[in-house]
Amino acid sequence: MENSADLPWRIGVYTVERKLGAGGMGTVYLARSPGGRAVAVKVARPELAADPHFRERFRAEVEAARRVGGFHTAPVVDADPDAEAPWMATAYIPGPTLAELIERQGPMDKDQLRALGAALAEALQAVHACGLVHRDLKPGNIIMADDGPRVLDFGIARAVESTRLTATGAAFGTPGYLAPEQAQGDEVGGAADVFALGAVLVAAAGGRAFGTGTPMGLMYRSVHEPADLSALPGELRALVAACLSKDPTGRPTPEALLGSLMPNPNPSPSPDPVPDPNTFALATPARPRVAPPVPVVPPADPGRVDEPLRPAPAGPSRSPRVITLLIVTAAATSALVGGLFALTRQGDDNRGGGPSVTASESRRANSRASAPPSTPAASRVSTAPKDRVTVVVTAKSGRSWISAKDHNGLVLFDGLLDDGESKNFTDKNQISLVLGDASAVQLVVNGKEVPNDFQPGQVRRLTYGRGDY
């Protein structure tokens, strides 16, 4: 039953007062408990509610989110995964979002940025300790309360992500804050949240780590280009550059970030030397778990235009600076393995993901990828062996970012296709794709064209195997 303002009268035992926001997950309402306490109730969208897999994951994630403590989160107080429309209630935290605060008051200064970074690191420390990964940390998910920043939207991110990846292959998260592993569809862990934290600090300083523009452009730059750190104070650039490392094993842990951002309780009587923005040593926590620091890549020109995008360097054409970065990064992380990597949008503010592949594996796979024949796509597919899966991707509307992997997760191609350009991928079991703008490409799978009903700007992760089409 709904009231005169087209709002539900009640959600569970909570009386609805007004709508707070809406997004890809659902709608959020301000409501009151029977005792008069304010809560924020998030109700899932109908298409999610109809998916039993979502309900199963939602139930598990809510139970995990209940264990998240600390001073910098909004605690989960109630939930009903079995309701006609599943919902979750958290304590209502009054205050503007970080996005709203920046818009209203302008960029933060050095001390404010350090305090914000420490508060977010403490929140992530509590969340990761419970086995959770936020996956969508951004200014719109951070409430600037009177007693400090609070991070919202735990307990539902992984449920939505799992459902979308399984049901539709849609990407998950917010381009511009997504770690490279998320954008490329790899497994995601806590290091992805640290990447997002770095991008949040750039935004709080008044910048954009990966510029502005289409989701495809933002995601492509987060994977292939250095972040623009020019808005940050010089002494914070090396720290944030480490957070924004392309390699998740090169990023500091939340514990290490706390040690680096907290004020020194025993300052040295002698003056400290002026920090070099091109070097950075993480403070050592009680039990260090962080890889050695990653050198800073000089920021991109803050005045760059969003289009056209630069194609990813490959093979011998890499510049000396990029080669040096890859060599140093590989040396710094040679004792570590893997990567940790999922894209939804939090509903409170509508403004503001197989095993990972190492950089050397990606370069070897890219060097083995052959150039596409000049024959038409359909004729190329028709000659493919019947015991394999063959996918032809053709850019049909401007430049398109495409990433393709074989059944072992090795990268076959990761870059831009010009309008009319095609790539042909063949594997004995399956081909996995990330389409930066799914509506701008044509797909032919095993000789049959795949109908394209994607909306412009949608990012899609798709997997095709033998027997498909």
Tell me the three state secondary structure of residue 400. strand
Alpha-carbon gap, residue 40 to 92, rounded angstroms: 5
Calculate the alpha carbon distances from 348 to 20, 27, 160, 338, 364 in Å: 6, 8, 15, 34, 43
Q: Rounded to an integer, what distance in angstroms lies between the CA atom of residue 364 and that of residue 347?
A: 41
Q: How far is CA 79 from the centre of its chain?
A: 26
Known catalytic residue: 136?
A: yes
**Catalytic entry in 51, 80, 136, 349:** 136
Beta strand pairing status for 10-11 and 142-145?
unpaired
Q: Which residues contact 402 (CB under 8 A, 6 or more apart)?
A: 393, 395, 413, 414, 415, 416, 417, 423, 433, 434, 435, 436, 441
**Tokens (6 digits) for 441:** 């490409």
Residue 101: C-alpha distances to residues 88, 96, 209, 226 (Å): 26, 6, 18, 27
The H-assigned helical ranges of 227-319 are 234-243, 254-261
Residue 143: strand pairing partners: 97, 150
Strand partners, 441: 395
Q: Are 433 and 184 in contact (CB under 8 A)?
A: no
First to last CA, the chain: 45
Backbone torsions φ then ψ of 176, nearest 5 degrees: 105, -25
Question: What would you report as the CA-atom Rg of the chain, rounded to the nearest whole angstrom?
Answer: 23
State the burial class of residue 34 (Cβ atoms within 10 Å of its Cβ: 0-12, 13-18, 19+): exposed
> Please, are residues 232 and 205 in contact by the beta-carbon 8 Å criterion?
yes
3-state class of 457 per DSSP? coil
Provide the annotated active-site residues: 136
